[in-house]
Amino acid sequence: MIYDTLVEQDADLSFHPHLAESWEESPDGLSWVFHLKPGVTFHNGKPFNAQAVVKWLEMFRTSRDPSYMTDAIDKVEAVDDLTVKFVMKHPDPNILYNLSSSFMGVPDPDLVAELGEDYGITEAVGTGPFKLESFTLGQETVLVRNDDLRLGLAPFANQGRQRSRS
């Protein structure tokens, strides 16, 4: 609820854009290019961009998280501010499935690095529909609505709050 993923999987097992508005797989399966949605920000106001994805995936691959989900990725490159390229060690038919997993929600990687083991206890910052207001270990987690949310999930009729264009 605090974090969004690059892609979403629908009940019919199809994949849809979320933080990535589109993607392409190379014919040999050795690269994936993801085009990120413009105007997305983390709860703390920092921009969500290709460099954030690069930093996050490098952290994820070396963390205690289920790194097997990214083992097929050799490196991640920021092509431009809103384009990220995954260079694969070998084709991975599960890459979209893995990226849609709740384990693959994208936090603010700079804040994760800054707070270290305190990340998720004192602060947790993503782009999702809820923000962490407070956390008391073993007692209470308080989430509040993210009023700045601008992402709607493709499979759902309720597309959330949309930016008005004038």
DSSP string of 112-142?
HHHHGGGBTTTB---SSSEEEEEEETTTEEE
Give the tens place of pLDDT for each residue, 120-163.
888 899 999 999 998 888 899 999 999 887 655 555 555 555 54
- Which stretch of DSSP H or E encloses residue 23? strand 20-25
Give the tens place of pLDDT for each residue, 2-11.
999 999 999 8
Phi then psi dihedrals of residue 92, to 5 deg: -130, 105
**Tokens coding 150:** 């601008």
Q: Considering the entire predicted model, what is its pTM?
A: 0.85
Domain residue extents for the chain = 7-145
Nearest Cα neighbor of 104 from 59, 74, 60, 143 is 60
Name the class of domain 7-145. Answer: alpha beta
